[in-house]
Structure 1
Amino acid sequence: MIERLRPRDRAFLDAESPTVPRHNATVEVFDADGTGFDYDRFVTLILDRISFVPRYRQRVQWVPGQLAQPVWVDDDLFDIGYHVRRSALPRPGSTEQLRELVARIVSRPLDRQRPLWEIYFVEGLADGRVALLYKTHQALVDGVETVDLGQVLLDTDPEVRVLGGDEWRPRRRPSPTALVAGALRDNLTDPVSALGAVRHAGGAVLRTADHAASGVATVLSGLAGRRPARGTALSGELSQQRRVVGVETTLADHRTVRDAHGGTVNDVVLATLAGGLRAWLMTRSSSMGGLRQVQALVPVSVIDRELEATSLGSQIAPHHVTLPIAEPSPVVRLHQVSYSFQAHKETGRAVAANRLAGIAGFAPTTFHAIGSRVAATESRDFQLSITNVPGPQSPLYAAGARMVSTYPVPPLLPGHALSMGVTSYDGKVFYGITADRDLVPDVDVLAQCVSDALAELVDTATGARPAARRGRRRKASSQKPAPAPTPGPKG
């Protein structure tokens, strides 16, 4: 049976351009010393698990004349060696060298003629470590039909498990005649989708006044995006190149701040980013470039039957947060961020972070992918997208090698100079920042400012009485689950 791309998935393909590639990425670093974890072993692991995500062996097939939405077809030339690539840094590879390699790779769009993903196995890091760079198109991972491949590769202990793979045989590719016949048949049973496909073909989806009937209009208008106002440090015409940087922190520091001042770990994360942005902007201009606040889009996990259900047990909705970068007090910034989430907490729709952290496999890669899709389709104006995802607080392994760090590499939206992602894992909180190479040449300064902002918050918590004693927290019996902006770590 032919499976067509849904209109929103097609929209991600149509909205892609050389300056705005539509893929998500993640960098994972493993301690491979003495484990035998090498490229061949990693390829074997993928072949053993790829049957859990069958779309990773399918590519997009366009219908002649674009009479209907394109379809997913098995790639009869599927080549694991093309998708899983071997790379290396000059030993001993440094963090800066890894970042430059990642930045070059994520700047390149994926090949539309093949399944829309790549993984790079990077050797040569110091201390016997290796890195994995996952790169998947936003049209591929929707959290409904397909989760991220990275979610099924990691185990909870170092024992090497062989699940047996499958005896995959690609189904015969449909002929042009069959594609046209299927399109005509589907158009008779679903004329609304047919209308949407025709408007895609004519390039009139964004120009026609009555495009709402296609069911794709809202998605496409969000993907095109109403760009932020010009002249700020957070906006501009994007180049084709990126910069990436990561900041490693401890979950204990975030919990220390939470316990002293109230709120949630997620609130601490956002207050840290607000403080980091404030300090970074002040290094550029004493007036912070005229910005007094930053409008951020933070996808949140909710239980809401009105939204599309994912296979991860919750829905993802956009939530707008004002980051008070003009406020000099780190504690006041924290309370203002906490207050902005209060209404969401009181809806009863919020999903507790520890619930999401307990999902089988390494779900943050999938949640980041869904969060980036939500941000891309949001039509309200915002200046910065932030995905914040809780992961398990115990170590995970790939073919016996322990994962020691994981950094999200979120995509940039049109006109957005920055994008941020946060993942908690095994007692750490990893901040990942993607920046346009030309618009933000000082992204290293921003990374240092984020680290300093968290240290500043921790300093305010030293000697502070627990917030519960000052009445800043509700009694346990009246507390509701904390929100999970594609959510923050436990707490």
Structure 2
Amino acid sequence: MTLRKMPLLDAASLQLEGKNMPMHVAALMTFSYPTSLTDQERKTFVSSLTARWREETRVVYPWNQVLTRPTRWQLRPATREVYDLDLEYHLRQWSLPAPGGEKELGHMIAWIHELPMDLEKPLWECHFIEGLSDNRFALYVKIHHALVDGISGTRLVVGSLSTDADSLSTPMWAKAQAEIGSGGAKEPDRGTLPSLSDLKAGFAASLKLRTKNETLTTFRSTPETILNGPIGPHRRVATQHFELARLKTLAKTTGATVNDVVLAIVGGALREYLIEANALPEDSLTAALPVSTRKSGDISIGNQVSLLFGSLGTNIADPALRLEHVKRSTHAGKAMLNELPAHAVNVYSLLSTGPFLSSVVLGIGRTGRQLFNTTVSNVPGQREARYLNGAELLHVYPVSLIMPGIPLNFTCVSHGDFLNFGMVACRERVPHMQRLAVGMVDALDELERNIHQR
């Protein structure tokens, strides 16, 4: 029996697991039925696919990993391999009520997503969902954050789909490593321990986040809002997507990055949401911005991520000026991170957020002033078409997690010609979630008009 000790970042994701904070991440994929199907074949397509997948007996890393001890209370968790899956548990099938639109899909995904995973089983689930409008069905896959980060999880799930519309699909848990692009699902590199100079550099950078700074967004920049506070066990989920070409055109015109444009759109949507609630703070909301620390060509599975912190410009009415403000904020954050030696980045990440994460583990991180107001993450995707038994993948919506005090998360991933957003929130703290999804559309339209008029 092969035992695998979890790296520190992976272990932290397990240790943070709590009743109101399940630590899994997910991908919601929508597909269009193959046009060649008859009406009867379309009605049985998902059921037939589910039945065939449940007959698959092969299972590879990381789908075959189960905890040696099914508890969060362990310093160095380990996993072992299993080869006999209960596929009636891991693979499920649902049907949406009419009319099968985005609202009904969001309600179902919120319900599935809020359910914690069974730590005695391999830490993943797949859910087929039929009954969507516009000749579509969905596949929702959730995996515990202790096994994957956003980049490796997206690659693992989307990469398992076929690039050939005529080929039969193989379940993702049975995909041989060589089949998932560039070598497949590999175990994480344990890396090297940081040196004394790395520790000093990481410590010095983490101290900067605890002081007021005119250019750098720090924890002292974060205002109190009605959004931040204790979270409950229930979730809201909403989705939105934009044409990548629109965002790239804006970025090129303004000298910004696509990420900057994304932050300005999120800031615009949050500004209008809080104005409507008569609760807009004088200072701008801030966001944690996860960034990958993977080296070029690294395709391992696991968590390799650090954090920047940026301002969303919610206190700025003019959308063009808001974008300029966001640019300055992210530039300062990137400059600080880029100055760090490579092995000091993880030190900085652990020291900067360690006290907050420790308070969450101990159950005391629910109240008080928060380090940041929300999380905005952009996960790289791919442009090529993907298929599931001839059904074309339309959109991939990431469905992430929230933490005590930080009850709202925006995550986006690109696929084909679109950038797709998944928004997750605490049901009690963030009402009318769909208004944020619509507000992002309005914020992008307003930004485009403002830039074109200058």
TM-score (normalizing by structure 1): 0.68
Which residue in 2 is equivalent to 1:72?
A: 79
Distance 1:148 1:154 in 2: 10
Contact 1:143 1:311 survives alignment (8 Å): no
* Aligned CA-pair RMSD: 3.9
Amino acid at match of 2:22: P
Is residue 457 of structure 1 aligned with residue 447 of structure 2?
Answer: yes
Is residue 296 of structure 1 aligned with residue 303 of structure 2?
Answer: no
Which residue in 2 is equivalent to 1:421?
A: 411
The gaps in structure 1 that reach 5 residues or longer are 169-211, 213-225, 351-372, 465-491
Which residue in 1 is equivalent to 2:378?
A: 388
Aligned residue for 1:127, secondary structure, equals coil
Is residue 109 of structure 1 aligned with residue 116 of structure 2?
Answer: yes
Structure 1 residues 162, 314: closer, same or farther in 2, change over 3 A? same
Is residue 438 of structure 1 aligned with residue 402 of structure 2?
Answer: no
Alpha-carbon offset, residue 3 of structure 1:
2.0
Which residue in 2 is equivalent to 1:57?
A: 64
Alpha-carbon offset, residue 55 of structure 1:
2.5
Distance 1:88 1:164 in 2: 20
Aligned residue for 1:416, secondary structure, equals coil
Aligned residue for 2:227, secondary structure, equals coil
Contact 1:299 1:387 survives alignment (8 Å): yes
Contact 1:303 1:349 survives alignment (8 Å): no
Which residue in 1 is equivalent to 2:258?
A: 265
Contact 2:9 2:303 survives alignment (8 Å): no
Distance 2:165 2:299 in 1: 29
Alpha-carbon offset, residue 68 of structure 1:
7.6
Contact 1:297 1:375 survives alignment (8 Å): no
Which residue in 2 is equivalent to 1:27?
A: 28
Alignment of 1:204-283 (within 5 A): 232-283=225-276
Contact 1:141 1:148 survives alignment (8 Å): no
The gaps in structure 2 that reach 5 residues or longer are 176-198, 200-218, 340-348, 357-370
TM-score (normalizing by structure 2): 0.73
Amino acid at match of 2:417: G
Give a deviation string over 1:378-413, Cα, whole Å, max 9, x none: 657222111112322232212221111121111001
Aligned residue for 1:86, secondary structure, equals strand
Which residue in 1 is equivalent to 2:313?
A: 324
Structure 1 residues 48, 331: closer, same or farther in 2, change over 3 A? farther
Aligned residue for 1:434, secondary structure, equals strand
Alpha-carbon offset, residue 13 of structure 1:
2.5
Distance 1:378 1:293 in 2: 24
Alignment of 1:39-50 (within 5 A): 39-41=47-49, 44=52
Contact 2:228 2:406 survives alignment (8 Å): yes
Amino acid at match of 1:137: H
Give a deviation string over 1:5-63, Cα, whole Å, max 9, x none: 34443333232111111111221100024456524435656877974x42312211229
Aligned residue for 1:93, secondary structure, equals coil
Give a deviation string over 1:234-267, Cα, whole Å, max 9, x none: 2111111000111122112212322322211111
Which residue in 2 is equivalent to 1:87?
A: 94
Which residue in 1 is equivalent to 2:159?
A: 152
Is residue 402 of structure 1 aligned with residue 392 of structure 2?
Answer: yes
Partner of residue 341 from structure 1, selected from 321, 326, 330:
330
Distance 1:235 1:165 in 2: 37
Which residue in 1 is equivalent to 2:203?
A: none
Partner of residue 119 from structure 1, selected from 126, 130, 145:
126
Amino acid at match of 1:445: R
Contact 1:302 1:349 survives alignment (8 Å): no
Structure 1 residues 321, 67: closer, same or farther in 2, change over 3 A? closer
